[in-house]
Amino acid sequence: MKFSLTWLKDYLDTEASVAEIAAALNAIGLEVEGIEDPAAKLAGFRVARVLTAAPHPNADKLQVLTVDTGEGDPLQVVCGAPNARAGLVGVLGLPGATVPVNGMVLKVAAVRGVESNGMMCSTRELELGEDHDGIIELPADAPIGTPFAQYHGADPVFDVAITPNRPDCMGVYGIARDLAAAGLGALRSVEVGARASTGSARAGLGIETNTTSAQPEPVEGHAPSFPCPTEIRTDDPEGCPAFHGRVIKGVTNGPSPQWLQDRLKSAGQRPISALVDLTNYVMLGFGRPAHAYDLAKLTGAVVARRAREGETCLALNGKTYALTPEMTVIADAAGVHDIAGIMGGEHSGCSDTTTDVLLEVAYFDPERIGATGRALNLTSDARSRFERGVDPLFLDTGLELLTRLILETCGGEASDVVRAGTAPRDTAVVAYDPALAETLGGVAIPAGEQRRILEALGFSVGEDWTVTAPGWRPDVVGAPDLVEEVVRIWGLDNIESVPLPRADGVARPTATPAQKLERRVRRAAAARGLNEAVTWSFLPVSEAQAFVLRQAQDERESPLWVLDNPISEDMKAMRPSLLPGLLSAARRNLDRGAGSLRLFEIGRRYLRGAEGTSDERLTLGVVLAGERTVRGWATGKAQPFDAFDAKAEALALLAEAGAPVDNLQVMGEAGPQFHPGQSATLRLGPKTVLARFGLLHPATARAFDLSGPIAVAELFLDAIPAKRGAVGFARPGYAPPALQPVTRDFAFLVAADKPAGDLVRAVKGADKANIVSARLFDDFRGQGVPEGQKSLAVEVTLQPVEKSYAEADLKAIADKVTAAAAKLGAVLRG
Instruction: Please give the single-letter amino acid code of residue 651.
Output: L
Helix (H) or strand (E) holding 545, with range, is helix 541-546
C-beta atoms surrounding 761 within 10 Å: 18
Q: How far from chain centre, in Å, is Cα 741?
A: 59
> Which residues lie closer than 8 Å to 344 by C-beta, 6 or more apart?
291, 293, 315, 316, 337, 338
What residues pair up with 477 in beta bridges, in sequence order?
Answer: none
Q: Answer yes or no: are the C-beta atoms of 540 and 573 closer than 8 Å.
A: yes
CA angle in degrees (0–180, nearest 5) for 98-104-109:
100
Quick one: residue 353, left, alpha or beta (phi over 0 = left, psi -120 to 50 = alpha)? alpha
* Residue 208, annotated as binding a ligand: no
Q: Are 468 and 393 in contact (CB under 8 A)?
A: no
Residue 816: closest CA among 776, 780, 773, 768: 768
Residue type, 108: V
Residue 382: other Cβ atoms inside 10 A: 25
Q: Is 484 annotated as a binding residue?
A: yes
Amino acid identity at 337: H
> What's the rounded Cα separation, in Å, for the pair 400 and 417?
9
DSSP reduced 3-state for 668:
coil
First to last CA, the chain: 83
Is 141 within any annotated ligand binding site? no
Fill in the DSSP letter of residue 215.
S
Q: How many helices (H) and strands (E) would you count in the chain?
A: 21, 45
Positive or negative, the CA dihedral 254, 257, 262, 263 is negative
What distance lies between CA 591 and its chain's CA centroid?
Answer: 21
For residues 86-109, one letter each, b for 16 or more C-beta atoms within 10 angstroms of the residue's C-beta and e for the rest, the string is eebbbbbbbeebbbbeeeeebeee
Q: How far apart are CA 221 and CA 394, in angstroms?
A: 13
Residues present in the chain in total? 830
Going by C-alpha positions, the residue among 449, 452, 441, 444 that lies closest to residue 480 is 441
615 among the known binding-site residues? no
Binding region for Mg(2+): 475, 481, 484-485
Binding region: 475, 481, 484-485
